[in-house]
């Protein structure tokens, strides 16, 4: 979202994160802006039984945990590194100053928040219809249209079936069975365990 040199000029600090490490937890307050430089981060809610519900998968260059900066509330979800990663953190006072000096960035954040909210509406709508095939199909269509989690060159899905299950609330067995049905209908291709949309 924000150029790394700009973040560093305003006091941003790099931090290395090990795979599986929690960056921040749901319900905790923090005065920091977070942006992924390299690696992968998942932003999840975890229920009492330890089951994760993936809210979003963060790619390099994307920010996460930004809700807390805009409403001074606690984090809405927990951020966990999926692999060894590097993040950059910036104090929220500096973040606000960057936005004041760069109004276009404020519009970009508004656009990002709106896109993430639209994605949540899509997921909620699909969860309410209780139809795994429609839900997974809508999810894949969304990813393809927004060039997220799908390779733009070969159309290979970058998500595991478990990650799709964690996004939709379905069991992984349901996702596997549904994707096989979708393959039989010609809606996607499964080759050597890889899914192509």
Per-residue tens of pLDDT for the chain, all 197 residues: 799 999 999 999 999 999 999 999 999 999 999 999 999 999 999 999 888 999 999 999 999 999 899 898 999 999 999 999 999 999 999 999 999 999 999 899 999 989 999 998 988 888 787 889 999 999 999 999 888 889 888 989 999 999 999 998 899 999 999 999 999 999 999 999 899 98
The pLDDT, as a whole number, for residue 33 is 96
CA-nearest of 64, 79, 68 to 23 is 79
Domain ranges in the chain are 4-115, 130-196
Q: How many CB atoms lie within 10 A of CB 192?
A: 4
Do 4-115 and 130-196 come out as alike in CATH topology?
no
The pLDDT, as a whole number, for residue 146 is 86
Domain 4-115 architecture: Sandwich (2.60)
Domain 130-196 fold is Arc Repressor Mutant, subunit A (1.10.10)
pTM: 0.82
The pLDDT, as a whole number, for residue 147 is 86
In the numeric block, which tokens belong to residue 162?
A: 């478990």
In the numeric block, which tokens belong to residue 91?
A: 């104090």
> Beta-strand (E) ranges in the chain?
13-17, 22-24, 32-38, 41-46, 52-58, 63-64, 78-81, 85-91, 189-191, 194-196
The pLDDT, as a whole number, for residue 124 is 86
The pLDDT, as a whole number, for residue 2 is 93
């Amino acid at each position: 979202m924000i150029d790394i040199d700009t973040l560093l000029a305003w006091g941003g600090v790099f931090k290395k994160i090990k795979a599986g490490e929690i960056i921040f937890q749901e319900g905790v307050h923090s005065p920091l802006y977070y942006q992924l430089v390299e690696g992968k981060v998942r932003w999840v809610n975890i229920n009492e039984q330890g089951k994760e519900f993936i809210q979003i998968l963060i790619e390099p260059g994307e920010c996460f945990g930004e809700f807390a900066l805009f409403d001074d509330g606690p984090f809405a979800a927990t951020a966990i590194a999926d692999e060894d990663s590097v993040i950059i953190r910036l104090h929220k006072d500096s973040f606000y100053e960057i936005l004041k000096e760069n109004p276009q960035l404020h519009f970009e954040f508004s656009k990002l928040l709106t896109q993430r909210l639209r994605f949540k509406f899509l997921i909620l709508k699909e969860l309410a219809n209780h139809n795994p095939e429609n839900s997974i199909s809508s999810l894949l269509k969304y990813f393809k249209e927004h060039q997220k989690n799908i390779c733009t060159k070969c159309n290979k899905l970058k998500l595991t079936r478990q990650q799709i299950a964690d996004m939709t609330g379905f069991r992984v067995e349901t996702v596997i069975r549904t994707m096989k049905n979708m393959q039989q209908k010609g809606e996607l291709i499964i080759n050597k365990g890889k899914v192509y949309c």
